[in-house]
């Protein structure tokens, strides 16, 4: 059976990996959001130019702009949700790390107490032997 400290350490490690994955997903969402915003800027510029890009009509560009805008808002909402998850996971990881440190410190204190008791027991046994031989 593994000790509580070992289980907590493994749990912290897994939660850190989940946090890294969530952060990576957030970065991916932010990149998609930036790409969609860049496309919006391009499409608005294309509509404002006197000459439209070859093979495009103002109707098709405005339709693409509307679709892109909706997509950008959806990605932005998803990114905000993901950011909230990252913050929540980060708080949970910090809390669990604190609990794990406390358990490990308690385990070390118990081990030190056992060693001190063994030393004290050995020392009192040695005193008994010295008093007998005197």
Domain interval for residue 23? 4-106
Q: Report if residue 133 sits inside a domain.
A: no
Q: Are 72 and 31 in contact (CB under 8 A)?
A: no
Q: Which of 104, 82, 88 is nearest to 15 (CA)?
A: 88
Number of domains in the chain: 1
Q: Report if residue 130 sits inside a domain.
A: no
What's the pLDDT tens digit per position in 44-67? 998 888 787 777 888 899 999 999
What's the pLDDT tens digit per position in 105-127? 888 898 899 998 888 887 676 56
pTM, full prediction: 0.73
Q: Report if residue 112 sits inside a domain.
A: no
Q: How many helices (H) and strands (E) does the chain have?
A: 2, 0
Q: Report if residue 32 sits inside a domain.
A: yes
What's the pLDDT tens digit per position in 17-45? 999 999 999 999 999 999 999 999 999 99
Question: What b/e string do you get for 16-48 counting C-beta neighbours within 10 Å, with b at 16 or more?
Answer: eeebeebbeebeebeebbeebeebbeebeebee
Q: Report if residue 25 sits inside a domain.
A: yes
Q: Which of 78, 35, 20, 114 is nearest to 43 (CA)?
A: 35
Q: What is the spatial distance between Cα 99 and Cα 104, in angstroms, rounded to a whole number? A: 9
> In this predicted structure, what is the pLDDT of residue 16?
95
Q: Report if residue 113 sits inside a domain.
A: no
> In this predicted structure, what is the pLDDT of residue 121?
80
Q: Report if residue 48 sits inside a domain.
A: yes
Q: Report if residue 28 sits inside a domain.
A: yes
């Amino acid at each position: 059976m593994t000790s509580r400290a070992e289980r907590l350490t493994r749990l912290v490690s897994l939660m850190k990996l989940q946090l890294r994955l969530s952060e990576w997903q957030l970065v991916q969402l932010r990149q998609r959001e930036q790409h969609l915003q860049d496309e919006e800027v391009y499409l608005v510029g294309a509509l404002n130019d006197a000459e439209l890009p070859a093979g495009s009509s103002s109707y098709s560009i405005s339709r693409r702009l509307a679709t892109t805008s909706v997509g950008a808002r959806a990605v932005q909402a998803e990114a905000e949700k993901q950011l909230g998850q990252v913050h929540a996971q980060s708080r949970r990881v910090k809390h669990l790390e604190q609990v794990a440190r406390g358990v490990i410190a308690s385990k070390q204190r118990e081990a030190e107490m056992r060693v001190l008791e063994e030393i004290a027991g050995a020392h009192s046994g040695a005193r008994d032997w010295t008093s007998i031989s005197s």
